[in-house]
């Protein structure tokens, strides 16, 4: 079950965190994996890890904000069966204290970056009359998160893009869903805490972990397992859906 053999997969943000876990999981399930990320050194490390496990992967250094660069990368990959949009950034701030520069930066990466990839990949999928797209959304689609104005804006847009793509291309055999994690323990989280709460790292990590009713953050591999399922033939009847993976955050926090 959940085999991805004979599938070509492209994963953005694949050098770390959830994207890295997805790339490793997809390679393990037999997909030909293409890793897209801005961090060239980290890409080399992940590709080496995948090859050491006996699987294959191809790195592509890419800034998803730049449409011409995105077009070039996908022209080189050619036929993409599976697209997973994991590249993204966060930002702390409310509507009145988020700077225009920070707002624009979050929008460019989290919204335009996904648009750029959709814009280039969908024609290949239309030609093949098949394909699966997974976009990385967030629990911010469902609940108000304090001091996350720009981030929440961007993830709401991801949900909207997901539903639109699912509807527009259903007759082309393309499925599109999104995944909405709560907090996931990645290097991004550790760096985020260190940057914004210096000297209080342990306290903040415990506080953020406890905000999930299940009592901990998710592991990147747990999110990757859900994405493997959604991209597999076993999920062939699923499209236009958002999947919270949140340790009870949305429904059990009172």
Active site residues: 151
DSSP state of 171: G
Phi, psi of 62 (to 5 degrees): -155, 135
**Cα gap 173→251, rounded to integer Å:** 33
**Cα gap 59→66, rounded to integer Å:** 17
**Cα gap 106→104, rounded to integer Å:** 6
**Cα gap 87→53, rounded to integer Å:** 24
Cα dihedral sign, 239-15-79-67: positive
CB 169 within 8 A of CB 124: no
**Cα gap 220→217, rounded to integer Å:** 9
**Cα gap 244→236, rounded to integer Å:** 19
């Amino acid at each position: 079950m959940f085999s991805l053999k004979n599938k070509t997969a492209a994963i953005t943000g694949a050098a770390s965190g959830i994207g890295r876990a997805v790339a490793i999981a997809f390679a393990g399930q037999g997909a030909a994996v293409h890793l897209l990320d801005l961090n060239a050194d980290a890409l080399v490390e992940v590709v080496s890890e995948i090859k050491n496990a006996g699987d294959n992967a191809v790195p592509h250094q890419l800034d998803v904000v730049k449409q011409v660069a995105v077009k070039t990368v996908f022209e080189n990959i050619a036929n993409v069966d599976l697209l997973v949009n994991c590249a993204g950034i966060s930002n702390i701030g409310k509507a009145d204290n988020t700077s225009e520069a920070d707002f624009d930066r979050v929008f460019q990466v989290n919204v335009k970056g996904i648009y750029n990839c959709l814009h280039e990949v969908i024609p290949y999928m239309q030609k093949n009359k098949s394909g699966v797209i997974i976009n990385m959304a967030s629990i911010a689609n469902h609940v108000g998160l304090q001091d996350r104005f720009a981030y929440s804006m961007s993830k709401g847009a991801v949900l909207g893009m997901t539903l639109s793509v699912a509807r527009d291309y259903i007759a082309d055999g393309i499925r599109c869903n999104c995944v909405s994690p709560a907090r996931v323990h990645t290097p991004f989280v550790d760096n985020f805490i260190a940057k914004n709460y210096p000297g209080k790292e342990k306290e903040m990590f415990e506080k953020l972990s406890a905000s999930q009713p299940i009592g901990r953050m998710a592991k990147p591999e747990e999110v990757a397992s859900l994405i493997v399922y959604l991209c597999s033939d076993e999920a062939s009847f699923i499209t236009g859906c958002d999947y919270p993976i949140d340790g009870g955050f949305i429904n059990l926090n009172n």
